Structure 1
Amino acid sequence: MRPALYVGLYLLFVLSFKSEGASIISLTLNKQPTNLTVNEGVNVTLRCEVDGYPLPGIKLLTNSKVLNEEKYSTVAEYTLTAAGCLDTGQYTCNANNSISSCDKTVVLDVICSPRLDGRVQFIKTYSAAVNSTVTMEMSVIANPKVRSFKWYKLTDGKHKIFQARSSVHAASDVSYEGKLTLIGIQKEDFGIYQVVVSNSVTRDLVENITLTQERGGITQDTPTDKNQETETEDSHVTTIVAVVIGVVILLSLFIGGAIVYYKKKREKNEALITLDERHPGKQTQTHHCSVFDDETVLNGVYKQ
């Protein structure tokens, strides 16, 4: 009888625990069950309590990144130490067992003043050539959102604003990019520019950027006087080459004509010498041969 008693007690024990899908009892930020806004530097604890049978697995996540994971448990926690601006975002608790899965999300807002975004390189010095185009950039993080990037040109202690040429782009919930584009740069554009970033709640961010003149270089897509000078130089080179070729051709013709002339003259002189040898008694007048052709000389001077 005892084995049967044991089996009965076991069945009674099993049946008393009914399978149940996973569920989230609560998800809190610093014990508050709603979205939370804090100043930067405050510790924030994310806590999720769940229920279910079999006991669920629990994951705490932000932007698909797992912060903490517990298996076969009813609670999971994660603490942000000295929460910063980049900790702003959604935080999710996921609970699941063999029966079901569920999620719950809360939002954390961390208030912070504008500051340089350390994930993006900050270029403090730009260089450009006269008549070229340059875009100066600065990436910051801030919460609430940045209201403006104000660009100033520092000249003799005075500020010259360039708001009309600047732009603001939101890269994410707390990341922003400010740009200032200068087109057709002139010498007076070189110098120090001051950028003031404000989100109207906390202190402003002020940074200086220097624009220097580029030596011996220009942007590829910007037409300049240098290009025109190059075209003029090419034209001059073409003209000089044409003149040299013309001179060479004239010299060739002159030299060729002279060679032909002296060759014919030598042949005439050789013909006269041959005739003198054949008629030694005859007096010839060779000093007049240059003005007659061969037929005149032979028929007039040597004809018997």
Structure 2
Amino acid sequence: MNNSIVLNVEHLHIRVSTPQGMKKIVNDVSFQLKKGEVLGLVGASGSGKTMTCLAIMGLLQESAIIEQGSIHLGSRNLLQLNANQMRSMRGKELAVIMQNPMSAFNPTITIGNHFIETLRAHGSFSRVEAHEMAVTYLAKTGLPHPAKIMDQYPFQLSGGMLQRVMIAIAMSLQPAVLIADEPTTALDSVHQVKLLEQMYLLCQEQNTAMLLVSHDLGVIAYMADEVMVMNNGRVVEKAPVAKLFDQPEHPYTRMLLEARPGMGTAIPEYEQPEVR
């Protein structure tokens, strides 16, 4: 395996039990993530994006069955690990940022305690060391007065601030892979750009590979090195971001691009962030 490849998904097939019987949700999906690179994953609801991510994280519901395939993080096949082994991988090697930050936090626990508990659960940090690292990473995401934020509760922060806290917690353990599932859905365009820049900078600084899931093609164009398009559980196209937007080959890809108001097949205006 190429040394720059950190995650290798091969021939993944997933079926889900439904009232109408077993339904194939993910059909022969293969892709790789490389150190420091961003792979954008796009497709309509039900295309298999989220199921693919849940399979990587080992968080599929019992109704979902992986029929075939492998998911290698480095040399380890994640599908062969038991629940405890996968739990130790999540956070430390595999990190995830969800689209609803408020649901990720206990409203009765301060941001500082959330952060410190996470660090100490995955590493041999004293409380003082964990506190210092938490403040450092909150500052890295552009949050003002990080020491003050440590003493605040989730409901005292805006959605954008909580997203930055989630990024800080996720990146503080320097994971090999970061899965970002619709990370900017609840934010306006100005806050989207700032958040994306911080995510990209941290991934570059730590050589973390990112799988960025989004329905927003502007976000994908802004962040991704390569783009993978899914439809009905299959990967229908995968290409470097500029090529995919300029010369989409699959009819479904062209439909997605043309469906975005005022976009056509052109790359959005803010496709080139200053951090790149």
More strand per residue: 1
Highest RCO, 1 vs 2 (Cα 8 Å, sep ≥ 6):
2
More helix per residue: 2
TM over 0.5: no
Instruction: Report the structure number with the largest CA radius of gyration.
Output: 1
The normalised TM-score by structure 1 is: 0.22
The normalised TM-score by structure 2 is: 0.24
